[in-house]
Amino acid sequence: MTPDAQEQHLFAQFVNGRDARWQRVELHVTPTALRITRPDGARIEWPFDSLRRAPDQAGRDGIVLSQAGDKLARLVLKGKGPAEQIAGLAPNLTQRPPFENLGRLLKWSAAALASVAVIIFFLVPVMANQLAEFLPPEGEKALGDTTFEQIRVALDQTGLDPVQVCDRPEGAAALAKMEVRLNPYSDLPYPIRVQVLDHPMVNAFALPGGRVILFKGLIHAAEAPEELAAVLAHEIGHVVARDPTRDALRSAGSIGVLGLLFGDFAGGTVVLFLANQLINASYSQDAETGADTYAHALLEQAGLPPSALGTMFQRLKDKHGDAEGIIAHFASHPQLEDRISAALAADTGEAPERPVLDSDEWEALRQICGEAPARIPEPTRDIPPLKEPKAPDVVPSVKKG
């Protein structure tokens, strides 16, 4: 510091933090401190190493200074020159006081996590299981309709590629024939509604109120109509057991709680959707076994081979054994072997007296969304894991355990 600079008269505004006086004070730079001379002549000194600067302040030039340990007094310097001069002398301008309530923060973090965990993993599932038993059929149907629309929106996250429901009349007729052959109606208070989504994913799932959704990719992956009928029977098994209703109620409860946690930082939807996927990824092992058992009985009653379910699983395993995404979960899991052998064991060994669809009908079903590939396609590798639907369920039992 040159003597000249020390002779400079620097001025600033000062507040003492006890009353609201807005005082013009004179500043002097001493070797170790900033000396503040108030209008009444009183002097205070703020050592340079104790100076702190208020962060994120507006104004291109000028700074607001305080002294470490003094939470109230402030010095407001205007003008670029003085601000830079002082800033150059003070080494600890940007140091922050430590946060005082760290213990409390940790305690409440733990409490918040515990509260969310208890609600999402215990309270909501238990309640959903109980309430699903009491939901009347009309309510279940409405819930299924709502969930279906949500899933279509979710599958269409990019906004570039809307997912269509396929309904070519010949294919739909074939699908209806398959459904009639299975004839699950005595077990259900509402009709089954099977729909095909124009999406390459090899998957199928059930929704509350008797909706079963098949993806185009699954139809193309099946080599015989009996295999598709077996998957359909499995999904109907979930509907009869009301598994999708439980699942939908569960996500109704947990999605809001997750929204609470993540806030509305990005409309929340994407993260919410992903997070809910992780929690709600699957039905329980028991639910899957239950649906398989139901499917075996239904197929047998319809004069169709239960082993088709095993064949279908086996084919998916062979075809997509090393594929990425959902199929990997599904294919690598030992539980699948059990399901395959259970399906084979349930077979009576007799060939079906009459096939579920004749070859024309089967071709019509394969083309329900339009031109189908002549042969079974290679595993589709461009399915991102993002596009996994809610409760994907040919896959599911595998994810648990």
Partner 1 sequence: MTLSPLKTEFVGDKGAVFRLALKTGLLTVVTLGFYRFWMKTRLRRYYWSAVRPGGAPFEYLGQPLEKLLGFLVAVVFMAFYIGVVNLLLMFVSFSLFQGNFVAYGLSFVGILPIIFFAQYRARRYVLARTRWRGIRFGLEPGAWGYAWRAALYWTLTILTAGLLWPLKAFALEKYRTDRTYFGSLRLHQGGRWTMLLRAMRPLYTAAGLSILGAVMLYLSENPAWMLVFLLSVPWGIYGLAFWRADSFRRLSETKELGGARLTSAPRAGRVVGIYAGGYGLIYLCISGVLMAALALVAIIAALGVSMNPDAILNGDFSSIPGWVATMIGVLTYFTVFVLWDVFHHAFVKVPMVEHFAIETALVDAQNLSDVHQRDRDEFAEAEGFADALDVGAAL
Q: Which of residues 25-64 bind partner 1 (CB under 8 A)?
A: 54-60, 64
Amino acid at 29: V
Please identify, among the stretches 33-41, 66-74, 283-291, 350-358, the one whose residues bind partner 1 according to the rule CB under 8 A.
66-74
Binding residues for partner 1 restricted to 304-333, rule: CB under 8 A: none
Q: Which is nearer to partner 1, 15 or 372 (CB)?
A: 15
Q: Dihedrals φ, ψ of 29, to 5°?
A: -95, 115
Residue 26 β-bridge partners: 11, 37
Please identify, among the stretches 28-36, 81-89, 225-233, 260-268, the one whose residues bind partner 1 according to the rule CB under 8 A.
260-268
Minimal CA–CA distance to 254: which of 270, 278, 238?
A: 278
Minimal CA–CA distance to 291: which of 364, 395, 400?
A: 395
Q: Which is nearer to partner 1, 135 or 212 (CB)?
A: 135
Q: d(Cα 118, Cα 122) in Å, to the nearest integer?
A: 5
Using rule CB under 8 A, residue 69 touches partner 1: no
x/- string (CB under 8 A) for partner 1, residues 158-197? xxxx------------------------------------
Which residue's structure tokens are 């059990």? 338
Q: Which is nearer to partner 1, 121 or 301 (CB)?
A: 121
Using rule CB under 8 A, residue 134 touches partner 1: yes
Q: d(Cα 375, Cα 50) in Å, to the nearest integer?
A: 78
Using rule CB under 8 A, residue 136 touches partner 1: yes
Q: What is the smallest separation between the CB atom of 31 and partner 1, expressed in angstroms?
A: 28
Q: Which is nearer to partner 1, 76 or 328 (CB)?
A: 76
Using rule CB under 8 A, residue 262 touches partner 1: yes
Please identify, among the stretches 45-53, 224-232, 255-263, 289-297, the one whose residues bind partner 1 according to the rule CB under 8 A.
255-263
Q: d(Cα 76, Cα 62) in Å, to the nearest integer?
A: 7
Start-end of H helices in 54-205: 80-89, 102-117, 124-134, 137-155, 169-182
Q: Which is nearer to partner 1, 99 or 354 (CB)?
A: 99
Binding residues for partner 1 restricted to 267-286, rule: CB under 8 A: 267, 270-271
- Binding residues for partner 1, rule CB under 8 A, total 76
Report the C-alpha dihedral over residues 164, 399, 300, 140, rounded to 10 degrees: -50
Q: d(Cα 329, Cα 162) in Å, to the nearest integer?
A: 26
Binding residues for partner 1 restricted to 95-114, rule: CB under 8 A: 99, 101, 104-105, 108-109, 111-112
Please identify, among the stretches 4-12, 250-258, 309-317, 392-400, the one whose residues bind partner 1 according to the rule CB under 8 A.
250-258
Q: What is the smallest separation between the CB atom of 379 and partner 1, expressed in angstroms?
A: 13
Report the C-alpha dihedral over residues 331, 334, 340, 341, rounded to 10 degrees: 160
Residues 6+ apart with CB under 8 A from 106: none
Using rule CB under 8 A, residue 10 touches partner 1: no
